[in-house]
Amino acid sequence: MSDYTLEVHGCHHYDATGAISEPIYLSATYRHPGYKQSTGFDYGRVANPTRTELETVLACLEQGERAWALSSGMAAINMVFHLLNPGDHVVLSEDLYGGTVRLANDIYKKYGVKCDYVDTADLEKTAAAIKKETKLLFIETPSNPMMRVSDIRALAKLAHENGALLAVDNTFLSPHFQKPLTLGADIVVHSATKYLCGHNDIIAGVIAIADAQSDYGQTLDLYIKSEGPNLTPMDSWLLLRSIKTLGIRVERQEKNAAIVAEWLKTQPNVTDVYYVGLPEHPGHELHKSQATGFGSMISFKVKTPELAVALLGKLKLIAFAESLGGVESLLTYPIAQTHAEMPKELLERTGLDDRLLRLSIGIEDVEDIKADLEQALNA
C-alpha cells in the first residue's frame, strides 16, 4: 500500500464487531486460556492491543521491522541512549534539540558515556570525531533549529564501518516525507507529539528499528518491557486517529511553508531565512535525494534581539508557544525555550542567537499567516 492508504487504513484487522475504528483496550491484564497458553496479550505494560496496532502501523510507515510507542519523544531518545555502556562514546549533531543535549550532558555523562558534538553535515569532521569507543551516531536532519542537512546514507556507511549504530531523529519530517531506515539508518526516533499527532493534544514518542532480531533490537525490547515507558491505550488510539490525516496535513503545511519562506526573504526586518525547501539552502539538493518533501519548519533571524522579543508579544493568529508540527502555526524563541540549556559553545558554533525565531507552519490560510507575521514584524 502507498503511505496515504496505510495512514488511513493501518494494519487493522477487524474484530467480531467489524469496528472501523480500532477499539481502545483499557484492560491492564488478560485472561490465559490455560497453563502456558496466551492470546499474545498478558499484561498491559508488555503489550496492549491498541498500542500494538499503532506500533505495527509505525513500523510499516518507517519500513522497519519493529516499533515501540512510548510516553514521550525524550523517553524514546532515552531508550536509545540506554544501549550505551560506561566508557562508550557517542557522536551527536552539534545542532539538535536542547533536551537531547541535556540528556547526554547532564545524565549520561555521569554514567561514563562520552559525548562529542560535530557538524554532521560535514562528513570529514564526523569521521574525524569517531573513536574506537564510538558506538552510536545520533543525528537530526534537518536539524533543530538551524535546518542543517546531513547525508543519512553516507553516515550510515561511516557508522557501520566503525562498528557503530546510526540513529536519526525524524521528528521534523515524519515518515511521510523521510524514511531513514531505507537509507541505512538502524534506529529512528520521533517526538510523536509533533507531526505524527499534529493536534497538540498528546505527548508521545516513537522508536522504529531496521532489524528486530539484532542485539540492539532485543536490548531495546528488554529495556522497554522492564522499565515501562509505554504509551497509554487512549493516547495510542488518538495517535492512530491522527495518522489517518498525516499525509494531507504535512503536505498542506509544506505548501504553506514554501510560500512563507519566500515571503520572509522580502521582509526588511528579516536578515536570514533557514528553510530546506529554498533552492539556495546549502543542503537543498542533498535533502531532495533522501526525502520526498521539505517539511514546514522555518527558522529566521530578525535585525535585533529587541525586535525578536517584541514580535512575540504582537502575534494575533500564530501562537507564541513551544512545540511544533500541529495544525496551528506556532512561533518559538529557541534561545529562551527549546535550547535554553544549550552550552554557549554550541550556540556560537551553530549560529543560534537571540535574533533567531523558529516557526512551525500550520494548515491555516497562508495569507492569514503572512498577515499576522507582517503586522508583528512591523508593529
Parallel, antiparallel, or unpaired for β 66-70 and 205-209? antiparallel
DSSP states along 146-158: T-----HHHHHHH
Tell me whether residue 255 is exposed, middle or buried, using C-beta atoms within 10 angstroms of its C-beta: 0 to 12, 13 to 18, 19 or more: middle
- Name the β-bridge partners of 168: 139, 188
pLDDT tens track for 321-370? 999 999 999 999 999 999 988 899 999 999 999 999 999 999 999 999 99
Greatest alpha-carbon pair distance for the chain in Å reads 74
Which positions are annotated as active-site residues?
45, 97, 169, 194
The pLDDT score that the predictor gives to residue 294 is 98
CA distance 362 to 379: 23
What pLDDT, on a 0 to 100 scale, did the predictor assign at position 107? Answer: 96
Q: To which H or E segment does residue 58 belong?
A: helix 49-62
Structural contact between residues 111 and 255, judged by C-beta atoms closer than 8 angstroms: no
Delineate the domains of the chain, giving CATH numbers in brackets: 3-243 (3.40.640.10), 248-378 (3.90.1150.10)
Average confidence (pLDDT) over 168-188: 98
Whole-angstrom Cα distance, residue 113 to residue 100?
14
CA distance 259 to 364: 13
How confident is the model over 27-38, as pLDDT tens digits?
999 999 999 998
Res 16: pLDDT: 83
* Mean pLDDT of the residues in the chain: 96
272, 301 contact by CB (below 8 A) = yes
Query: In the predicted model, is pLDDT for residue 13 greater than 80?
Result: no
What is the residue whose three cell numbers read 507531526?
A: 195
Alpha-helical regions (H) of 244-283: 246-264
Nearest to 298 by CA among 277, 313, 316, 319: 277
pLDDT in tens, 51-95: 999 999 999 999 999 999 999 999 999 999 999 999 999 999 999
